[in-house]
Amino acid sequence: MKSNPAKKRSSGVSRRDFLRRTAAVAAGAYVGPMIVPASALGLGQTVAPSNRIVMGCIGVGSQGTGNLEGFLEKKDFQFVSVCDVDRGHRENAMSIINGTYGNKDCKGYNDFREMLERTDLDGVSIAVPDHWHSIPAIAAANKKLDIYAEKPLSLTIVEGRAMVEAVHRNGVVWQTGSWQRSRDNFLHACELVRSGRIGRVHTVKVGLPTGSPIEMQPVMPIPEGFDYNFWLGPAPEAPYTEKRCHWNFRWILDYSGGQLTDWAAHHCDIANWGMGTEASGPVEVEGAGVFPRDGLWNAATDYEFNATFPKGVSPVSPDGFVMNVSNKNEMGARFEGEDGWIYVTRGDQSSGPGDLIASEIGEKDVRLYRSDDHAQNFIDCVRSRKETVAPIAAAHHAIVIAHLGNIAMQLGRKVRWDPEKEEFTDDPQASRMLARAMRGDWHI
Amino acid sequence: MKQFTSLALAIALAGCAHVATKPVATEPTAPELKAIATYVHGQGREPLTVVEDMVREAAKGADAGAGLSVELSTLLTGNANFDCKQFVCRMLAKIGTEANVPSISPLLYDEATADIARFALQPIPGDAVDKALIKALRSGPAEARVGIVNSLGMRGSRAAKSDLAKLAGSVDPKVAEAARAALAKIG
């Protein structure tokens, strides 16, 4: 079932190299924007073991295990290893993998660096807390592994930029877990906006969830089998308490940007997709947030900020536009133009005036990247070496908006931003918040 | 790489506006600061939030919080708890200046406090910070060395290049790898 590392070394050509070379040949005959799904070529259910994409998982908590279970439905993958600093999570994921394949081949690791030393991996699936996103992703990219990784892309702007550069420098395939891009209603809404159906867009309202406070938690003994020091990793020293870890990391600013960054990676990403601003960013950000004054969790519970995009960055907003991001807006993205509005969220969409959301995209309209299966798109791109529907640069530009919002709200004032240089303009204090020092020996 | 370079330039330019001086206060005078000296994790965070408010408002002032930073840094030289010192270092990361370096840098020489010192120093502009980090790199505890190398790299510290070049050949693979990564960031 697994590829044979010894055989690979003796041949001097890895299966990964082979996949890339054959993809390059195929690319010569490639025409049009569509990537032909492997499933459409009859590959989905009949992939020879030697042609499977050999994968490892880094992080198999609730999200990582959910991703894994979805991936295991794809016969193109062969999962051979699992890494998690929580033994319970690790052993559960190993059991799922071994149960799927009917063997005991999956190997578990506590330290992702040891797993990345394997020579048989083609790619990794990363689903770890946000403060751990950059380090294993950059390490995997430097090992020339293709990467499926959870959103939000980064904890800081500097970490995100380093991740983008590592992925591009190494030429690896990257897909962010911003799976809304693989849902037809989001694609359709964005294509309508990009095709000018609502005229010049002046405002995009992005609605995200409200955060939560919690009372201060007592210091607790570290559970057996949980490598808490490794879980903290680059984050500041802090004593263990249950509500700090696993799913709850997202409420604490040492490990995340709160609901703001968690969901901006979805809906700000869709806003950028619709506006065609995936490679640019705002020049001013200003807003206010309510940060819990006591208790363990300190990410903003209520928040609202405006990100001002300048002239010329959006093809449907020549004069510039404002992206209003708040938990007070309706969940999703609402595009408001001179001739109407379009709203899209999970499982729903609407428009006005009339039912223009129901109109079809014509031959002369703008067509965006079409994917109807996020995992399959990753598989197809690993084989074709094409860019996925959710590339790392788009994820970076989406989450930069949220990072800027958090910085402006924490400073309590407007910040000005140069999206080309990715620098604050004449703002040394905000510039201090571009990156964070990392604990111990960890670095990007 | 562009980001590291620009951050380093900002740090260097900002550093030109400051002259390193020793802190004058020996203990905080503000009751809000005195109140956090015994803070430990697990206690209510409200007293810390009050200080965070002070820092945010001070940062908007004419001196960008430099005055408050001097008073805050006295908590690093006294008998305040580790958790208090860690918090103070977080605040100094926001408003600290070269004037705080003499209070922060001794923490680099204790393995237990070297990280929190770096959390404060890494974003503070100015040559005095680079000098303090380089000095600790040469004579501080071996356990803190990789972290200091990483912070120098993130700062884009050109003054550290010769030290880092030597460490890139270290027999300690962690030190060597960190030094190479830091040099790549500095360019």
The pLDDT-based confidence of A253 (bands split at 50, 70, 90) is very high
- Euclidean distance between CA atoms A149 and A139, whole angstroms: 13
Task: Say yes or no: B137 and B119 in one domain.
Answer: no
Residue A104 CB coordination number (10 Å): 10
Give the domains, in start order, of chain A with CATH numbers.
5-181 (3.40.50.720), 184-368+393-431 (3.30.360.10)
Q: What's the confidence (pLDDT) of residue A46?
A: 63
Task: Say yes or no: B73 and B1 in one domain.
Answer: no
Q: Which helix (H) or strand (E) holds B32?
A: helix B31-34
Nearest chain B residue to A215 by CA distance is B44
The count of CB pairs under 8 A between chains A and B is 108
pLDDT in tens, A421-444: 999 999 999 999 999 999 999 999
Task: Mean pLDDT check: name the lowest of A135-149, A243-257, B8-22.
Answer: B8-22
Q: Is A372 helix (H, G, I), strand (E, B) or coil?
A: coil
Q: Tell me the residue type at A321.
A: F
What's the structural domain count of chain B? 2
Considering B102, B123, B144, which residue would you say is the last residue of a domain? Answer: B123
Task: Say yes or no: B112 and B174 in one domain.
Answer: no
Task: Mean pLDDT check: name the lowest of A337-341, A343-347, B17-21, B87-91.
Answer: B17-21
**CB-nearest partner of B49 from A158, A294, A443:** A294
All residues of chain A having their beta carbon less than 8 Å from the beta carbon of residue B7 are 158, 423, 431, 434-435
**CB-nearest partner of B147 from A295, A421, A441:** A441
pLDDT of B176 > 80? The answer is yes
Residue A28 CB coordination number (10 Å): 6
Task: Tell me the pairing of strands A123-126 and A201-207.
Answer: unpaired
CA contacts within 13 A on the Cβ side of A118: 27
User: Residue B4's domain spans which residues?
Assistant: 1-17+125-187
**Sheet holding A302-309: strands in order across?**
A348-352, A340-345, A332-337, A201-207, A321-326, A302-309, A284-290, A415-418, A423-424
Does B15 or A411 have the greater pLDDT score? A411
pLDDT in tens, B22-53: 444 568 889 999 999 999 999 999 999 999 99
Task: Tell me the pairing of strands A146-149 and A174-176.
Answer: parallel
Q: What's the confidence (pLDDT) of residue B27?
A: 81
Residue A426 burial by CB count (10 A; 0-12/13-18/19+): exposed, middle or buried? Answer: exposed
In percent, the amount of chain A with pLDDT more than 70 equals 90
ipTM for the predicted complex: 0.88
**CB-nearest partner of B43 from A157, A161, A216:** A216
Quick one: average pLDDT of A368-383?
98
* A443 to B119: CB separation less than 8 angstroms, yes or no: no
* B56 to A412: CB separation less than 8 angstroms, yes or no: yes
- Euclidean distance between CA atoms A17 and A144, whole angstroms: 10
Task: Mean pLDDT check: name the lowest of A99-103, A422-426, B13-17.
Answer: B13-17
Q: Which two tokens stand for residue A355?
A: 């039912």
The pLDDT-based confidence of A20 (bands split at 50, 70, 90) is low
The CATH code of the domain that includes B150 is 1.25.10
**CB-nearest partner of B150 from A294, A410, A443:** A443
Considering B69, B99, B123, which residue would you say is the last residue of a domain? Answer: B123
pLDDT of A120 > 50? The answer is yes
Q: Tell me the residue type at B97.
A: T
Question: Is the previous residue joined to A353 through a cis bond, with omega within 30 degrees of 0?
Answer: yes
Task: Say yes or no: B139 and B49 in one domain.
Answer: no
pLDDT of A350 > 70? The answer is yes
Kindly state whether B170 is in contact with chain A, defined as any CB-CB distance less than 8 angstroms: no
Nearest chain A residue to B126 by CA distance is A428
* A429 to B95: CB separation less than 8 angstroms, yes or no: yes
Task: Say yes or no: B97 and B50 in one domain.
Answer: yes
Taking only residues 419 to 438 of chain A, the set having a beta carbon closer than 8 angstroms to any beta carbon of chain B reads 421-423, 428-429, 431-438
Task: Say yes or no: B143 and B81 in one domain.
Answer: no
